[in-house]
Amino acid sequence: MWLRTFSLWAACFILTYTFPLLNQLLKASGTFWLYGCICILGFYIYTQRLPETKGKSLEEIEREFTNH
Q: What sign has the CA pseudo-torsion 55, 62, 59, 7?
A: negative
Q: What is the DSSP letter of 50?
A: S
SS3 32: helix
Global pTM value: 0.69
pLDDT at residue 52 in the model: 87
pLDDT of residue 43: 96
pLDDT of residue 67: 78
d(Cα 46, Cα 41) in Å, to the nearest integer? 9
pLDDT in tens, 4-61: 999 999 999 999 999 999 999 999 999 999 999 999 999 999 999 888 889 999 999 8
* Distance from C-alpha of 68 to C-alpha of 62, rounded to nearest angstrom: 10
Spans of all domains in the chain: 2-50
pLDDT value of residue 5: 96
